[in-house]
Amino acid sequence: MIDSEGDCAEWTFPAVPGAVRSARHAVHEALSAWGLDAVVGDVTVLLVSELVTNSMRYTSGPIGVRLVRPHPNGDGPAAHPGLLVEVSDPLPDPPTERMAGPEDEGGRGLQLVACSARRWGTRRGKTGKTVWFELALPG
């Protein structure tokens, strides 16, 4: 973990076999520490897994994963209404959402993100792109 200053957890993974498993484990542990694993744990881990897999398919890494939970009093750097999740890689091209057929083994990652997240999108950075999504939290 690179950063864990209360409301943020951030990691960088090499694009090697085992990175997806490591990302899933890290995200689960952070959500558990924040008491959010029962609320959004499964869907967050699933969507991170899909996005890290997409990054590994098209780039040689590194792959960044960042979680930002909303600040309890609604202000500060995490002043957003839900759990913000970002997956970054050095490839500047945005991912392409496509419709997977019933027999296709891939192509559903962004569909899962679009269906599960409150909001999602992509943005270019200085050296690549970030795919982000926000999950609603109760209360």
Please write down the HEC assignment for all residues of 43-75: HHHHHHHHHHHHHHHHCCCCEEEEEECCCCCCC
Which residues on neighbouring strands pair with residue 52, listed in sequence order? none
Lowest mean pLDDT across 35-39, 48-52, 98-102: 98-102
Q: Is 71 exposed, middle or buried (0-12, 13-18, 19+ CB in 10 A)?
A: middle
Residues 127 and 90: their CA atoms lie apart, in Å, by: 6
| Of residues 95 and 40, more confidently modeled | 40
Q: Which residue has the tokens 């040689």?
A: 60
Quick: pLDDT tens for 38-85.
989 999 999 999 999 999 988 888 999 999 998 665 555 555 679 999
pTM of full prediction above 0.85: yes
Reference 33, options 4, 11, 58; nearest CA is: 4
With 60 as the cut, is the pLDDT of residue 24 above it? Answer: yes
Structural domains in the chain? Answer: 8-136 (3.30.565.10)
Q: How far apart are CA 128 and CA 126, in angstroms?
A: 6
Query: How many helices and strands, by DSSP H and E, does the chain display?
Result: 3, 5
